Structure 1
Amino acid sequence: MRSETANLVDEIKQAISLLRRYFDWDEAVKRLEYLNARAEEADLWNDPQEAQQLMRERQTLEENINAINTLSQSLNDNVELIMLGEEEGDQAVVEEAEAAIRALRGEIAARQMETLLSGEADGNDTYLEVHAGAGGTESQDWASMLLRMYTRWAERRNMKVEVLEVHEGEEAGIKSATILVKGRNAYGWLKTESGVHRLVRISPFDSNARRHTSFASVWVYPVIDDSIEITIPESDVRIDTYRASGAGGQHVNTTDSAVRITHIPTGIVVQCQRERSQHKNRATAWDMLRARLYEEELKKREEAANAAESSKGEIGWGHQIRSYVLQPYQLVKDLRTGVESTSPQDVLDGELDDFMKASLSQRVSGESGKGEIADLE
């Protein structure tokens, strides 16, 4: 076997081993055996909701286990074909098997992303909030740029974006906005985008053309379904109604249809002004609040699980995560992973996948070595 092919085989074997470790292989196999046995029991559908949840979990486990087994079997089969072809002097067989092994790289990269997006709520739709930082018009314009960036990213992935609320800036941009992103693994992809984003540029609002630094924050939290119970006592919330803001014209509401809910114990505030109906906006705001509280619980679990990580304080929730420099040079740099792009305009047009993949890999691994799978890409 040629040294180049042998090195690739070793690389893929290591990647498959890491995939098994990500997936907690032994526990996953045991869990699938239990679910298969449970699926055969006569009383399974006595509780339809529980049965559906069990069958979904079973299907996911089965798909992941089969996929990794198929990758491993395909690698072994093609290694045997190479050895057989070399013994018999059949170069066509050798070349075909080598091509199949090279193709496995792409399959493993895809499987890696599926693994990184296998968290409890990763498959859900997601809410995304953008808030301008201090600095008036500069930061408000930056917030609107970020909102456009994530909207463009979602559109590139054929996801649907619904605007739930927007508070316009006085001169330009936005003070805040909340969107709902609907699509496969929307929360999984976007969850590491929470944090402070920094922009450095020559201000278009400064007559002296000076360089300005602006900040805006992004917050991402998953839409939760009926299988996740979040109970919120009404005594824990304050509900306010107000007149929805808008750019003017016939579509501006003239009644107090917008709804703001404040969760008093945590200080979490959500608001919705999408519909003309206060009743509908109130229902959506309650869904958003339940989602925020659920996301808070996920955050606590993650922080507890990663308490030993020395870098946790540096990359924690709500801290600066990425810098976008437009002048005097052009660079976007993720401060957590070190991933860079010298094409800020492409990033602002929604090319975020490289940043997301790197931060997902770092967030999931929490230990050296696991990030090596990403090298296969």
Structure 2
Amino acid sequence: MTLAGTTAPRVPTAEQIARAPKVLLHDHLDGGLRPETIVELAADCGYEGLPTTDPVELGVWFREAADSGSLERYLETFAHTCAVMQTREALVRVAADCAEDLAADGVVYAEVRYAPEQHLEAGLTLDEVVEAVNEGFRLGEANARARGHRIRVGTLLTAMRHAARSQEIAELANRHRDRGVVGFDIAGAEAGHPPTRHQAAFDYLKGENNHFTIHAGEAFGLPSIWEAVQCCGADRLGHGVRIVDDITVGEDGRVELGRLAAYVRDKRVPLEMCPTSNLQTGAAASYAEHPIGLLAGLKFRVTVNTDNRLMSGTSMSREFGHLVDAFGYTLGDMEWFTVNAMKSAFLPFDERLAMINDVIKPGYAELKAEWLFGPRG
């Protein structure tokens, strides 16, 4: 199966997937820590709440907790990561680790999100949190470059939808928009916390010509997506997987789009899909049954993402590997997903175009040529 058309008759190998340039739009900073970093930071700050101080066992615990089906255990995972991310030094380290890990996985551009309001317990101000995270990403970019990997990281500032600080966080994002912050987001439980509750923040950002994405259509249904797009004016949808509820596939294979699904596709609203995370939250029973296959086939603006790399035990290469196994995607299909993501990034147009033409397309062209000539010696 191929989406974009390619002369390559076979699916890519795991090694080629790892080397392919990738773009990541939906990744949570507090969901992607290295287990060994958590253990060391816990020792530094005196946090004694970890279930184990063995890094290997801790990594397994995080994945099992996320897979448990228990919301309490899942939320507990973030209590541990946020507990060790309360100082400037910790935030710098976690952000630097993140950039280095993504770059080593072939990610050339990433937008990583976090909620500044969750990192104030040790006395940092909101601005100091943002400055520390930005410093860490610049350090991580430099460290990656020294190892032969190129990556650029922007950040999204997240407001928690159950709290009442969205206006404050929106203003914070606008204040730092030319210093590493590229946009705004709201996250948290959708049910009972509609995006329109934060309408003032979205109106403010639109007035400032700033970018924002909204977690919508992950666990809750079409009303959340409708509000995010039509009332709030979201540039992108975080997950958006439930848009499939507005699509009917007949027994004869004919597909009919409802009004909302057609609008989202027609307007090219990007969907930040996170397959492994969606399986953990019950949005799909398997990779083969994940709506990403149908939506990509219908040419929605689908992107592939990680969400929480620690909790899902995943990476961009693993996400693409699962999709290759499930749908037989080729390098041409991977390129299509990656260009979709770069088109949808919160960067200026000329920079997105340069990344596509000078980094992404040449990277895939070289990988595709290996089908003909073999890899470079």
Shorter chain as normaliser: what TM range?
Answer: under 0.3
Q: Which has the higher Rg, Structure 1 or Structure 2?
A: 1
More strand by share: 1
TM-score by length of 1: 0.26
Larger RCO (CA under 8 A, 6+ residues apart): 2
TM-score (norm. length: structure 2)? 0.26
